[in-house]
Amino acid sequence: MTPNGNRSITELVSDAFDQLAKLVGNEIALARAELADKASQVARAMAMIGAGAALFLPAVVLILFAVAGWLMEAGMSEPLAYLITGVGTAAIAGILIYIGINRMSGPALVPSVTIDQLHRDKVAAKEMVQ
């Protein structure tokens, strides 16, 4: 190979394409790694939701009976005590589900590192061509 100052256009173009091919390969590897990380994040979130639901249900049943019993002892009718207890529990369940779903939302799973790197590579490739 000739020194850098005396390289032919063919050699320069060939080197540019070699570097571009390596860059694309590196970007694909980065995207795979980041997507694997995001998939792992989803799996952990799903496991947390499942474990929380499995542990929460028996405890909630006992707590609901206790709350309804307390409301009845405080003078409320049985149906009203159960209704108030059920509505309160449904609200708490809705909040927990909402939090779990937000952890799996689109923005949380976007491969932002790969997107940023692709943008930088695009700029670098444009500068190489000029």
Number of domains the chain contains: 1
27 domain-assigned:
yes
CB atoms within 10 A of CB 123: 10
2 domain-assigned:
no
Model pLDDT for residues 86-113, shown as the tens digit of each residue: 999 899 889 989 998 888 777 767 778 7
1 by DSSP, 3-state: which?
coil
Give the pLDDT score at 25.
85
Model pLDDT for residues 36-87, shown as the tens digit of each residue: 888 888 899 999 999 988 988 898 799 899 999 999 999 999 999 999 999 9
The per-residue DSSP string of 60-98 comes to HHHHHHHHHHHHHHTT--HHHHHHHHHHHHHHHHHHHHH
3 domain-assigned:
no
Give the pLDDT score at 114.
79
58 domain-assigned:
yes
1 domain-assigned:
no
77 domain-assigned:
yes
Distance CA 86, CA 84 (A): 5
Give the pLDDT score at 130.
67
pLDDT band at 5 (very low <50, low <70, confident <90, very high): low
Range of the domain at 25: 8-129
Q: For 21, phi and psi rounded to 5 degrees? A: -65, -45
Q: Are 84 and 76 in contact (CB under 8 A)?
A: yes
Longest dimension (CA), the chain: 97
Residue 2 has pLDDT above 70, yes or no: no
